Structure 1
Amino acid sequence: MEWVANNLTTVLSLIGTGVFAGLLAGLLGVGGGIVIVPVLYFLFQALGVSADTAMVVATATSLATIVPTSVSSIRAHHSKGNVDFALLKAWAFFILIGVLAGSVIVTRIDGNYLTILFGVIATLSALNMLIGKKDALFSSLPGKIGQRVIATAIGLFSSLVGIGGGTLTVPTLTFCNYPAHRAVGTAAAVGLIISLPAALTLLVAGNTPTDAPPGTYGFVNLIGFICIVPLTVLFAPLGAALAAKLDAAMLKKVFAVVLIITGLRMLVQAAL
């Protein structure tokens, strides 16, 4: 309790991150990681943490928060029949290979490279929200080899930058003429396959940096996890309720612009 009293601003900021991520997840269908990673990245630096450490800890902590939220999301989508378990069965092993490779890389790579990668993925995701075509680019998913490459790549890049299944899986599936509602539901399950092994690996195998924020074990900041998860789970349904009353399409465009600015800011900081 003494630590909380001495770091009240940090705790409130982490709680605010959970509220913001939960609302956006419900309102726009945006994965929490795409919000949580940049917020934690800049927040940890404000606490005096180096940029490299801030990015690695933000990535690992984000992955940890995705575990419980993805379980909740899977249950909701499964109840509506929107989780493609046949596709998951075909992809799971290859996603896991990508995740394990990405987790090992995170423990060894300079955090600056992770920042650049996140900035690129965030900017491209935002541009897809703004100007992406609604029509499918392909008539169907590729053959077995192509799908295995896709699954491995999704696991690899998601674990490298701390995002779940939605950011990469949903556009990939919809580009291949896959039903949008099934893509979102299946992506929630992909998020669990990504986040659980990645978070455990980074918690157990990561050597805690000397300048990591308080409460960090391995690369996961447990204080951030404890503050963020309950609020994300609590506010996601509220975001979904608001989506029925507000112009979600316009809000998504506003968020995309903010995400582009955030991604570019991270790219500039990493380059300087």
Structure 2
Amino acid sequence: MIPESQIIYILVLLATGIAVGFFCGLLGVGGGFLMVPVQIWALSSQGIESTLATRIAFATSLAVVLPTAISGCKGHSCRGVVMWREGIIIGLFGMLGGFFGGTIASHAPGELLRMLFGILVILAAARMLLDERPEKSIVQYMIWGLAVGVLSGLTGIGGGLMLVPIMIAALGFSIYQAIGTSSVAISFNALGGIIAYAINGWGVEGLPRYCLGYIDLQQFALLAASSIFSAQWGAN
């Protein structure tokens, strides 16, 4: 018989995945701001040390963001609001930044990582207050892509929480273009971070049983199973 605590663990992660997918499809964000706190709680309840739990949560969150963002991107592409050229440019530089950020986070103290996560959420909210409309340029795409990618890798979120407001306020995208194109970019961001966390977490002691580097495959399966489908719902 499955213990009650295990049933609660599974249901919480499935419910979180549904919420993450919906917001990813609806707003073009990866959903890490929802996943990471839940994952840290779930890992800590299993006796995982706090710093290690934070790294696992960041890594697994990015792993979930990748298929979820791709699913959301499919829905937005059907509506014709994805700017592929811009999304790929931002995303490629975001992938480099994500790898760099993920590598740093793999060796940084858990307290610092959680502080950066909190700061990022605050900055994303503040960014929405801006109302500037400068001209678009490839250089700006590269700079913002790299910067958001680093933050994505450092904090375990796809980067859409920062990227959508930046696309609207700093790059002049319409809200629908920003949401659709962000889904493309954060897919690349997540991939860079995933590679970094998988490499740097290889062979680390104290990890849960089924892990690929710092990526908890059990959490990934539960979160991704529900988020992929709800992303289509959010996009529509």
Do both share a fold (TM > 0.5)? yes
Alpha-carbon deviations, 1:49-77, whole Å to 9, x = none?
22211111000000000111111111111
Paired residue for 1:185, among 155, 180, 184? Answer: 180
Letter in 2 for 1:223: Q
Q: Deviations over 1:236-266 (max 9, x none)?
A: 445567xxxxxxxxxxxxxxxxxxxxxxxxx
Query: 2:191 maps to what in 1?
Result: 196
Deviation at 1:204, TM superposition (A): 3.5
* In structure 2, distance between residues paired with 1:9 and 1:163: 24
- Tell me by how many angstroms 1:170 deviates: 0.6
Displacement of 1:155: 1.0
Task: After TM superposition, list the pairs within 5 Å mapping 1:102-181 onto structure 2.
Answer: 102-126=101-125, 132-133=128-129, 136-141=131-136, 143-176=137-170, 177-181=172-176
CA contact under 8 A between 1:208 and 1:217: conserved in structure 2?
A: no
Please say if residues 91 and 187 of structure 2, whose CA atoms lie closer than 8 Å, have aligned partners that are also in contact.
Answer: no
Normalization by structure 2: what TM-score? 0.86
Larger Rg belongs to: 1
Output the amino acid matched with 1:100: F
Gaps of 5+ in 2: none
Q: Determine helix, strand or coil for the equivalent of 2:202.
A: coil
For the residues of structure 1 that align with 2:27 and 2:95, how far apart are their CA atoms?
A: 27
Q: Is 2:16–2:35's contact at 8 Å kept on the other side of the alignment?
A: yes
Measured on the aligned residues, the alpha-carbon RMSD in Å equals 2.6
Residues 115 and 145 of structure 1: CA distance in aligned 2, closer, same or farther (over 3 Å): same
Q: Give the secondary structure class of the aligned counterpart of 1:44.
A: helix
Deviations 1:101-142 (A, max 9, x none): 1121122222221111101112333455xxx44x7313323x
Query: Is the 2:25–2:72 Cα contact (8 Å) retained in structure 1?
Result: no
2:71 matched residue in structure 1:
72
Shift of 1:147: 3.4
Q: Give 1:119's aligned amino acid.
A: G
Aligned 1:253-272 pairs, distance under 5 A: none
- 1:9-41 CA-partner distances (Å, limit 9, x unpaired): 322332222123234445665532111111112
The letter for the 2-side match of 1:149 is I
Identity %, equivalent residues? 27
Normalising by structure 1, report the TM-score: 0.76
Amino acid at match of 2:191: L
**Deviation of 1:221 (Å):** 0.5
Determine the C-alpha separation between the residues in 1 that align with 2:65 and 2:176: 20
Matching residue's letter, 2:101: G
Report the equivalent of 1:231: 226
* TM superposition shift of 1:201: 3.1
> What are the superposed Cα offsets for residues 170-220 of structure 1, whole Å, 9 maximum, x if unpaired?
111100221111111110000111112321332243135433334333100
In the alignment, does 2:201 pair up with 1:206? Answer: yes
Query: Is the CA contact 1:117–1:161 (under 8 Å) kept in the aligned structure 2?
Result: yes
Give the SS at the match of 2:173: coil
**Which deviates more, 227-236 or 81-90?**
81-90
Aligned residues: 235
Deviates more, 1:203-212 or 1:53-62: 203-212
Instruction: Give 1:48's aligned amino acid.
Output: G
Contact 1:138 1:175 in 2 (8 A): yes
Structure 1 unaligned segments of length 5 or more: list them: 242-272
Q: Is residue 17–residue 227 contact of structure 2 (8 Å, CA) maintained in 1?
A: yes
- Rounded to whole Å, the distance in 1 between the matches of 2:180 and 2:190 is 16
Q: What is the CA distance between 1:89 and its match in structure 2? A: 4.2
The residue type paired with residue 78 of structure 1 is S
The one-letter code matched in structure 2 to 1:54 is A
The amino acid across from 1:150 in the alignment is W
Q: Distance in 2 between matches of 1:46 and 1:3?
A: 17
